[in-house]
């Protein structure tokens, strides 16, 4: 109510209102001074959020030493006295508090219904480092940080076109977090941009501390375990998605940006697929697809075969497996659940523990589970191998959010394998396939381009075709801009002179 009111002409009144707004805020400073010894003015700022040295030099000094001429208003002060590029006029209390909260000191002058905010906000920021969650051998080493403006700069440096657009909104009643939607005009579908904006505007929450909060609010299928929006800390991945016509959502205060829409295949791609040559990229992709199945199914298949389909195991192998299981008191299912459970616990403990203790835990875990449990006859050696291979396989999936989904799904399938054998595993797989066929991410079917089939996009999902042959953009790009690059760029050795 008061906050929305515009500033009054009378400075004393303004001060009274602002002091009541900032009651019990010991960090908000009201600095009274007068311009040219005659006109009263006040400077309001939050201690530590602004660069006061610059403030003194460029704002207070010229204002206090100013001679007052015939004409005196905000415009002339802005034009002649403030040697600062980032200034903004404020006219309501809401503006004033917004500016002060974001660290820009505000100057209010008597007899003026407008104030000036000076862009001397100073924030603590981390330096740009290599992202730890997605490391590459070849590729750029910079990663997003917690400061929104820096993240936008990182993207602007990669895409310099003026078509790169940013739309800013605020989410969070108390946190008032700045969220920016980024897209490339002419590549991103307008309906998609509008949809993203609508979904973001719908959010009404106390505070947004991480982009995960937003993700849960704008997902298409809130109960699905599958990640429907990609998150990344890498500017190059983000820039690549922008170029494919995706919309990117940057949130202040977190290095993780959201990318929509997302298909299942983009969760299985690493940035390096595109940097290391297409034959290698294709090979790595196939390896990843194969180990995706291993990560999901290996323990279940082991359990099913040992419990129901022993005839599938060649005799010599069966004898050695049976020998190692001779002393084990548990059925295969219980053994598998125990081992997988403790492996997950170890992994989780390893992340939460302080770095220097973490290695100790992994040694203890390896010794206890790998060695002692086997020699004590609690678990069999083949089971340890199965769990280890499954663990390695689940780390091959480049996106943490996708890997953890698969790890969760492994457990119900293990139960099915223990109760219905291979039939149970098939039922589990079919359920997952049906579920994935149901999901859409911002209108794009999740299993695209395999279901529904899109021939041109298969080139960049089942294999990684060479860059010069990736002629078309993904289909969710707006319809009028389908072609990425012209034909005939396939390189060949120059004919030369004979």
Partner 1 sequence: MLERGKISPVQMALFMNPAISATALLLVPSITAKHAHQDLWLSPIWASFIGYFIVFVSYQLNKLFPNQTIIEYSQQIVGKFFGKIIGVILLLFYLHITGVIVREYGEFVSGASLFHTPMAVIIGTMVLVCSLAVRGGIEVIGRAGEIIVPVVLLLYVIIFILLIKDLEIKNMFPIMEKGITPSLMGSVSPQSWFSEFILISFLLPYVTDRKRGMKWGMISVFSVTVLLVLTNIMDLLLFGNMTASLTYPVMVAARYISIADFLEHLESIVMAIWISGTFIKITVFYYAITLGTAQLLKLSDFRPLILPIGFLILLFGLWSSNNLEELSLFLGTSGAIYILSIQIIIPVFLLLTGFIRNKVQQGKGNNENEAPVNH
Return residues touching partner 1 (CB under 8 A): 308-309, 311-312, 314, 420-427, 429-431, 433-435, 437-438, 445, 447, 450-453
Q: Which is nearer to partner 1, 90 or 305 (CB)?
A: 305
Closest distance to partner 1 from the beta carbon of 296 (Å): 15
Nearest alpha-carbon partner for 336 in 418, 408, 394, 422: 418
What distance in Å separates the CA atoms of residue 297 and residue 472, rounded to the nearest whole number? 35
Minimum CB separation of residue 460 from partner 1 in Å reads 18
* Cα gap 84→121, rounded to integer Å: 12
Nearer of residues 214 and 297 to partner 1, judged by Cβ: 297
Residue 98 CA: distances (Å) to CA of 77, 342, 464 = 22, 50, 48
Q: Is the Cβ of residue 158 or residue 435 nearer to partner 1 in the bound state? A: 435
What DSSP letter does each residue of 318-353 carry, written as one string?
HHHHHHHHTT--S-HHHHHHHHHHHHHHHHHHHHHS
Give me the least distance between CB of 220 and partner 1, in Å please.
14
- Which helix (H) or strand (E) segment holds residue 231: the answer is strand 230-232
Q: How far is the CB of 382 from partner 1 (least distance, A)?
A: 16
Question: Kindly report the CA angle at 152 between 149 and 154, in degrees rounded to 5?
Answer: 110
Largest pairwise CA distance in the chain: 105
Which C-beta is closer to partner 1: that of 378 or that of 429?
Answer: 429
Query: Mutual orientation of helices 332-352 and 355-365 as an angle, nearest 10°?
Result: 160
Of 78 and 432, the one with the shorter C-beta distance to partner 1 is: 432
List C-alpha distances in Å: 213 to 68, 131, 171, 190, 247.
52, 21, 11, 25, 17
Nearer to partner 1, 431 or 472 (CB): 431
Q: Of 276 and 424, which has the nearer Cβ to partner 1? A: 424
Shortest Å distance, C-beta 427 to partner 1 = 5
Q: How far is CA 379 from the centre of its chain?
A: 39
Tokens of 175: 């946190």
* Cα–Cα dist 59/43, whole Å: 10
Least gap, CB of 292 to partner 1 (angstroms)? 14
Number of alpha carbons in the 13 Å side-chain half-sphere of residue 335: 28
Q: 367 or 427, CB closer to partner 1?
A: 427
> Which residue number, 421 or 474, has a Cβ lying nearer to partner 1?
421
Q: 111 in the Ramachandran plot: left (φ > 0), alpha (ψ -120 to 50) or beta?
A: left
For residue 6, give the 3-state DSSP assignment. Answer: strand
Compute the least distance from the CB of residue 478 to partner 1, in Å: 21
The smaller minimum CB distance to partner 1, of residues 58 and 431, is found at 431
Q: How far is the CB of 198 from partner 1 (least distance, A)?
A: 21
Rounded (5°) CA angle 48-52-53 = 135
CB of 433 to partner 1, least distance (A): 6
Q: How far is the CB of 318 from partner 1 (least distance, A)?
A: 11
């Amino acid at each position: 109510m008061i906050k929305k009111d515009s500033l009054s002409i009378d400075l004393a009144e303004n001060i009274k209102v602002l002091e009541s707004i900032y009651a019990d805020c010991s960090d908000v400073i009201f600095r009274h001074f007068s311009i040219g010894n005659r006109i009263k003015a006040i400077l309001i700022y939050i201690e530590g959020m602004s660069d006061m040295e610059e403030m003194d030099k460029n704002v207070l000094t010229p204002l206090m030493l100013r001679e007052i001429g015939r004409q005196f208003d905000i415009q002339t002060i802005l034009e002649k006295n403030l040697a600062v590029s980032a200034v903004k006029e404020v006219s309501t209390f809401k503006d004033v508090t917004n500016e002060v909260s974001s660290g820009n000191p505000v100057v209010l002058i008597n007899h003026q219904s407008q104030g000036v905010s000076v862009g001397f906000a100073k924030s603590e920021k981390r330096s740009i480092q290599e992202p730890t969650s997605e490391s590459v051998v070849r590729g750029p080493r910079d990663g997003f940080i917690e400061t929104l403006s820096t993240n936008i700069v990182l993207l602007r440096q990669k895409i310099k076109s003026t078509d790169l657009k940013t739309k800013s909104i605020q989410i969070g009643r108390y946190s008032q977090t700045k969220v920016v939607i980024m897209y490339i005009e002419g590549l991103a579908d307008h309906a998609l941009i509008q949809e993203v904006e609508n979904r973001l505007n719908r959010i009404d929450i106390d505070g947004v501390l991480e982009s995960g909060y937003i993700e849960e609010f704008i997902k298409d299928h809130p109960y699905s375990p599958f990640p429907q929006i990609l998150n990344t800390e890498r500017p190059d991945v983000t820039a690549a998605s922008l170029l494919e016509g995706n919309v990117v959502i940057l949130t202040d205060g977190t290095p993780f940006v959201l990318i929509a829409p997302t298909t299942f295949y983009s969760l299985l791609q690493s940035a390096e697929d595109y940097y290391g040559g297409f034959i290698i990229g294709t090979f790595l992709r196939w390896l990843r697809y194969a180990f995706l199945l291993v990560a999901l199914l290996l323990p279940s298949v082991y359990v099913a075969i040992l419990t129901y389909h022993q005839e599938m195991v060649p005799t010599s192998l069966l004898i050695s497996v049976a020998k190692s299981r001779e002393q084990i008191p548990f059925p295969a299912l219980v053994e598998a659940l125990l081992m997988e459970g403790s492996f997950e616990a170890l992994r989780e403990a390893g992340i939460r523990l302080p770095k220097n203790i973490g290695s100790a835990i992994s040694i203890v875990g390896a010794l206890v589970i790998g060695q002692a449990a086997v020699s004590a006859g609690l678990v069999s050696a083949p089971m340890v191998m199965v769990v280890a291979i499954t663990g390695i396989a689940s780390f091959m999936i480049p996106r943490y959010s996708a890997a953890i989904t698969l790890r969760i799904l492994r457990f119900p399938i293990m139960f099915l394998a223990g109760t219905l054998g291979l039939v149970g595993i098939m039922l589990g797989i079919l359920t997952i396939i049906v579920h994935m066929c149901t999901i859409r991410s911002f209108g794009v079917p999740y299993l695209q381009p395999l279901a529904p089939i899109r021939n041109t996009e298969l080139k960049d999902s089942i294999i990684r075709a060479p860059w010069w042959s990736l002629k078309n953009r993904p289909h969710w790009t707006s319809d009028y801009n389908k072609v990425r690059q012209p034909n005939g760029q396939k390189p060949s050795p120059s004919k030369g002179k004979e």
